Copies of this chain bind each other. A is one copy, B any other.
Amino acid sequence: MKETSARLLRVLTLLQIRRTWSGTEIADRLGVTTRTVRRDIEKLRDLDYPVKALKGLAGGYQLGVGAQLPPLLLDDDEAVAVAITLRTAATSGITGIGETALRALIKLEQVMPPRLRSRARTLQVSAMQTVGSVATVGAELLTTIGAACRDHQRLMFSYAGLGGVVSDRVTEPHELITWGSRWYLVGWDVDRGEWSTVPLDRIHLRGSPGPHFAPRQMPAGGAATQVARGVAQLWPDQAMTRLRAAKPIRSGRSRSSRTP
């Protein structure tokens, strides 16, 4: 039935490219009879994809709005555009949907053919320059670490501490968090046997993601608390000033911007 399944996907693709298609058009494209097309449409409906039909002249099939999102079938250009906008959103930290955008980006990047990936990368630069965002961090780094979190793979990196002290870390990455306009990695430091919070812009990856690990239970409060605690440790003395300046807890905090 590989052929039937493939055909269903192709029908979905067609219905996403243009709004309405007649049964005959679809049948011609797929090399089957219109009866089969009708049956395919029926199957799609069974699968909860709401295909609407208009009878009479100028009739045809349309993909309507359903309860859930159908699989998105993007062409090359569209994929590149989506990748770029997601990267921009994730790295610039402006929009406040950073984590989710990052998740979507990782999903997309992990299946993007190389030719598209390089196109996205090239365009990325110019887009970033135009936006001129603050405290950006490499999209590369972000997606790599994000994927490692998702897939529970160890990371090795060197960490540039405050006083310029560089140390090597082996970490089991658990979560990426934006705080203010900066990304933090919350992970279990294997050598020290404790939780650690590391700003991404101080991380320099060494090698690719390593072996899998079993995720640990995070201490009470979850990742956000970890970051808050970590941030307090990283910039101890400025904490007061910052807290006094910050009126609204969320967006105001980021405004007064983390770094001296």
User: A residues bordering B, Cβ < 8 Å?
Assistant: 1-2, 4-6, 8-9, 12, 16-20, 43, 46-47, 58, 63, 65-74, 76-82, 84-86, 88-89, 94-97, 100-101, 103-104, 107-108, 110-114, 116, 123, 126-127, 130-131, 147, 150-151, 211-212
| A79 touches which of B17, B69, B79, B95 (Cβ 8 Å) | B69
For the A-B complex with A95-B130, A96-B123 known, give 17 more contacts whose Cβ atoms are closer than 8 Å: A1-B43, A9-B47, A16-B107, A16-B110, A17-B107, A20-B151, A58-B212, A66-B113, A69-B79, A74-B104, A80-B97, A81-B89, A81-B104, A82-B101, A94-B127, A95-B123, A96-B126
Q: How many copies of the polypeptide does the oligomer hold? A: 2
Query: Which partner residue on chain B sits nearest A211 by CB separation?
Result: B58
Whether B147 pairs with A19 at a CB distance below 8 angstroms is: yes
Please classify the interface of chain A as helix (H, G, I), strand (E, B), loop, or mixed, using the class held by over half of its residues.
Answer: helix
Whether B77 pairs with A74 at a CB distance below 8 angstroms is: no
Whether A84 pairs with B95 at a CB distance below 8 angstroms is: yes
Cα–Cα, bound, A216→B18 (Å): 17
Whether B65 pairs with A112 at a CB distance below 8 angstroms is: yes
- Chain B residues lying within 8 Å of A116, measured Cβ to Cβ, are 69
| A69 touches which of B67, B112, B123 (Cβ 8 Å) | B112
The distance from the CB of A121 to the nearest CB of chain B, in whole angstroms, is 14
Whether A88 pairs with B82 at a CB distance below 8 angstroms is: no
Query: Which partner residue on chain B sits nearest A78 by CB separation?
Result: B104
| A110 touches which of B19, B46, B123 (Cβ 8 Å) | B19
Whether A5 pairs with B72 at a CB distance below 8 angstroms is: no
Whether B78 pairs with A100 at a CB distance below 8 angstroms is: yes
Query: Which partner residue on chain B sits nearest A6 by CB separation?
Result: B47
The distance from the CB of A122 to the nearest CB of chain B, in whole angstroms, is 12
The distance from the CB of A127 to the nearest CB of chain B, in whole angstroms, is 5
> Given the interface contacts A18-B151, A112-B65, does A81 sit within 8 Å of B77 by beta carbon?
no
